[in-house]
């Protein structure tokens, strides 16, 4: 299997909790229909294949300084060139923002994994 990392870009990275005020009326269900989990991320619509972007549900991405994540959700249409990392609670969200307040970070897609 030939697996490579492909640079998606330098993207805005944010954090969110699975609560109605930060998501929609079903905060524990991702856009792919599965339960949300802390290995998953939401991507802005311009990054998702449904709207012409390079990422699909199930794609594995690498976010510098954060690690490996799986695309399983999409963000509200007002966001662009962004990835939202799911965190468990307010404390985790606060810790994230102490390190990175709307940081622009390099993000890569793992190409060749799961047929991508």
- Report how far apart, in Å, the C-alpha atoms of 63 and of each of 5, 10, 25 are: 11, 10, 28
Specify the pLDDT at position 114.
Answer: 60
- State which H helix or E strand residue 91 sits in: helix 90-99
Question: Which residue range forms the structural domain that includes residue 111?
Answer: 12-115
Q: Show the low-confidence residues of the chain (pLDDT under 50).
A: 115-116
Confidence at residue 77, expressed as pLDDT on a 0 to 100 scale: 93
* Number of domains comprising the chain: 1
pTM: 0.86
- For the domain that residue 57 is a member of, what is the CATH number? 2.40.40.10
Residue 116 is predicted with a pLDDT of: 47
Q: Is residue 105 part of a domain?
A: yes
Cβ atoms of residues 48 and 81 within 8 Å: no
Per-residue pLDDT at 83? 96
Output the pLDDT for position 113: 67
Is 34 inside a domain boundary?
yes
**Does 63 map to a domain?**
yes
For residue 3, being part of any structural domain is answered with no
The encoded tokens of residue 35 equal 């339960």
pLDDT of amino acid 107: 97
Q: What is the per-residue pLDDT for 51? A: 96
Of 6, 75, 87, 18, the closest CA to residue 47 belongs to: 75
Residue 65 placed within a domain: yes
Residue 27, in any domain of the structure? yes
Q: How many secondary structure helices (H) and strands (E) does the chain include?
A: 1, 6
């Amino acid at each position: 299997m030939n697996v490579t990392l492909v640079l998606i870009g330098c993207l805005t990275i944010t954090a969110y909790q699975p609560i109605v005020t930060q998501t929609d009326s079903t905060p524990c269900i991702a856009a792919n229909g599965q339960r949300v989990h802390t290995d998953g991320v939401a991507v802005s619509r311009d990054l998702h294949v449904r709207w012409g972007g390079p990422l699909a549900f199930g794609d594995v991405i690498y976010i510098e300084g954060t690690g490996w994540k799986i695309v399983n959700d999409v963000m509200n249409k007002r966001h662009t060139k962004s990835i939202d990392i799911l965190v468990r609670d307010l404390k985790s969200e606060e810790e994230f923002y102490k390190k990175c307040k709307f940081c622009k970070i390099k993000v890569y897609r793992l190409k060749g994994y799961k047929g991508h």
